[in-house]
């Protein structure tokens, strides 16, 4: 039942690996977000393949792709569109913005003020856009892949909690290992150029129909009641943690469950296990938690909180038995 999702995931991984060296977390996160119908946020210092990952994914999907370079002077209408008066016809018409696409790259999203960032809220949650009171649907495959620099960098604006909560997963692109960077340099010495991805053999590997079928596979993955309770308990404990000022929302619990289904489908299974929950918990919850300032000063991070919660919540025996 999860065969098509597994095949799609393998094709995407194979295509990404033709260009991307390392960055296993980001590649897995993109697979999960795409197959679960969610959105992905990629954070990393400049030069760690954030934008490149999304560009390669767009080529592999062969779907309509648009890129918005977020800057301090970007306005909401530059994203969603606006109503324009035509002096020749004497009528107003709607000029749709770049958000009307299948795959949207919001590049360096935290370099624009929150007012403009919020232009994505309706689209990301409800899959439609309202322009001057008129609602326009977005394509079924619509997915936002945003990149951002670490918030400590100059000229950045932290994403509001409401915006962060719209992203199903957040991953990091770090510096490669010595072996990975050596391989990267070898590829470049051999002629690889990221500006010409077609020369690296990156072509359409998955159709929109195949992605739609894979998403149906994901949603049909069985999640035992005990595993549902496990997801709830994890989310609840992030709210109860004394070092946390803002815990995971109900939307976070829903997306953790669906991400677990996606992880199972990627692995070719039609049932989810506690390991699927654990493998996606940090990706789904990390960016949604707000650690208290006094705990942050002591070095506690959201990922530390997630790890602590996962260690504390008992694994359901029934679900573990099913996995074995």
**pLDDT of amino acid 324:** 46
Of 257, 276, 213, 169, nearest in space to 8 by CA:
213
The CA distance from 14 to 32, in Å, is 15
β-bridge mates for residue 106, sequence order: 68, 146
Q: How many CB atoms lie within 10 A of CB 109?
A: 28
pLDDT tier, 2 (very low <50, low <70, confident <90, very high otherwise): low
Domains (range + CATH), the chain: 3-213 (3.40.50.300), 221-323 (1.10.8.80)
In this predicted structure, the answer to whether residue 278 has a pLDDT above a threshold of 70 is yes
Q: Which of 2-11, 111-120, 222-231 ranks highest by mean pLDDT?
A: 222-231
Summary mean pLDDT of the chain? 90
Counting residues of the chain whose pLDDT is more than 90, the rounded percentage is 62
Q: Which residues of 245-277 are buried (b: 16+ CB within 10 A; e: fewer)?
A: eebbbeebbebbbbbbbbbbbbbebebbbbbbb
Q: What is the pLDDT of residue 11?
A: 94
Q: What is the pLDDT of residue 25?
A: 94
Q: Which residues, at least 6 apart from 7, have a Cβ–Cβ distance to it below 8 Å?
A: 210, 214
Tell me what the mean pLDDT of segment 48-63 comes to: 91
pLDDT digits (tens, 9 = 90+) for 159-173: 888 889 999 999 999
pLDDT at 151 over 70: no
Tell whether the model's pLDDT for residue 28 goes beyond 60: yes
Least confident range from 89-103, 212-226, 301-315: namely 89-103
Strand segments (E) across the chain: 40-43, 65-69, 81-86, 91-96, 103-107, 128-131, 134-137, 143-148, 169-172, 244-246, 290-291
pLDDT band at residue 319 under the 50/70/90 scheme: low
Structure confidence at residue 318 (pLDDT): 62
pLDDT at 96 over 80: yes
List the structure tokens of 57.
């994914």
Tell me the pLDDT band of 1, cut-offs 50, 70 and 90: very low
Q: To the nearest whole percent, how much of the chain has pLDDT over 70? A: 95
**Closest by alpha carbon to 172, among 283, 19, 32, 58?**
283
Q: What is the pLDDT of residue 242?
A: 87
Between residues 296 and 138, the one the model is more confident about: 138
Q: Is the pLDDT of residue 191 over 50?
A: yes
Q: What is the pLDDT of residue 307?
A: 94
pLDDT band at 194 (very low <50, low <70, confident <90, very high): confident
69 pLDDT above the threshold of 70: yes
Q: How confident is the model at residue 119 (pLDDT cuts 50, 70, 90)?
A: confident
Given this model, what pLDDT does residue 152 score?
A: 59
| Token pair for 244 | 């946390």
Name the β-bridge partners of 91: 86
Place 226 in a pLDDT band, splitting at 50, 70 and 90: very high
pLDDT at site 317? 77
Question: H/E element holding 284?
Answer: helix 274-285
Whether residue 184 contacts residue 177, with contact meaning beta carbons closer than 8 Å, is answered with no
Tokens of 230: 């496990």
Residue 22 clears pLDDT 50, i.e. is over it: yes
The pTM of the full predicted model, rounded to 2 decimals, is 0.89
Cα distance between the two ends of the chain: 19
């Amino acid at each position: 039942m999860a065969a098509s999702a597994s095949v799609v995931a393998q094709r995407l991984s194979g295509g990404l690996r033709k260009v991307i060296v390392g960055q296993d977390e980001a590649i897995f996160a993109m697979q999960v977000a795409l197959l679960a119908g969610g959105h992905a946020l990629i954070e990393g210092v400049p030069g760690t393949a954030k934008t490149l990952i999304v560009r390669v994914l767009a080529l592999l999907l062969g779907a309509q792709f648009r890129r918005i370079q977020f800057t301090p002077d970007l306005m909401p209408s530059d994203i969603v569109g606006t109503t324009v008066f035509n002096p020749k016809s004497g009528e107003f018409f709607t000029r749709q913005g770049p958000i009307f696409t299948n795959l949207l790259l919001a590049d360096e999203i935290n370099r624009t003020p929150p007012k403009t960032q919020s232009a994505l809220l309706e689209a990301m949650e409800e899959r439609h856009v309202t322009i001057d009171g008129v609602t326009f649907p977005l394509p079924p495959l619509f997915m936002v892949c945003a990149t951002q620099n670490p918030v400590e960098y100059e000229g950045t604006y932290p994403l509001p909690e409401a915006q962060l909560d719209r992203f199903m997963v957040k991953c990091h692109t770090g510096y490669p290992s010595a072996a990975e960077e050596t391989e990267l340099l070898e590829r470049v010495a051999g002629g690889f150029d990221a500006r010409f991805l077609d020369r690296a053999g990156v072509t359409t590997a998955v159709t929109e129909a195949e992605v739609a079928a894979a998403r149906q596979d994901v949603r049909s993955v069985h999640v035992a009641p005990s595993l549902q309770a496990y997801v709830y308990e994890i989310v609840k404990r992030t709210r109860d943690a004394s070092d946390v000022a803002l815990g995971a929302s109900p939307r976070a619990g829903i997306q953790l469950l669906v991400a677990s289904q996606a992880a199972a489908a990627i692995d070719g299974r039609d049932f989810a296990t506690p390991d699927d929950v654990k493998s996606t918990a940090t990706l789904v919850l990390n960016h949604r938690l707000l650690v208290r300032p006094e705990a942050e000063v002591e070095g506690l991070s959201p990922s530390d909180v997630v790890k602590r919660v996962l260690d504390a919540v008992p694994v359901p025996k029934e679900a573990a038995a099913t996995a074995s």
